[in-house]
Amino acid sequence: MSPEQTSLLQGTLDLLILKSLRAGEMHGLGISRRIQQLTGGTFVVKPGSLFPALHRMEEEGWIAAFWGESENNRRAKYYRMSKAGQKQLEAETKRWSRISLAIGQALEAS
């Protein structure tokens, strides 16, 4: 029953976070849930992975944070993608395409 989840590849988390935020601003756990949904349950990002990544990306200038209130009246930190984040998303998407293509073609070989 448990949706056999794979531990994610290093370097993939940022991509998924940015992609999630493209839909609009969101708080941490919301992002986590969205990733799980976007990947059909394959990737489950736990707090210990998520928050360090968010902080790193904020420092990097790809996302901006502000305090707000969640749907459940709880103090929550919301994140919004910046213009630099948009560029980063494009860059990482390209990177993923290249990687995915390369490995795919390696695996298809005789």
Find the shortest distance in angstroms from Cβ 100 to its own copies.
Answer: 6
User: Which residues lie near DNA (CB under 7 A)?
Assistant: 7-8, 10-14, 27-30, 45-49, 51-56, 70-78
Q: Is 72 exposed, middle or buried (0-12, 13-18, 19+ CB in 10 A)?
A: exposed
Stretch that binds its own copies, among 25-33, 40-48, 62-70, 73-81 (CB under 8 A): 40-48
Q: Is 33 exposed, middle or buried (0-12, 13-18, 19+ CB in 10 A)?
A: middle
The residues of the shown chain that bind its own copies, judged by CB under 8 A, are 6, 8-12, 15-16, 19, 23, 35, 38-40, 42-43, 93, 95-96, 98-107, 109-110
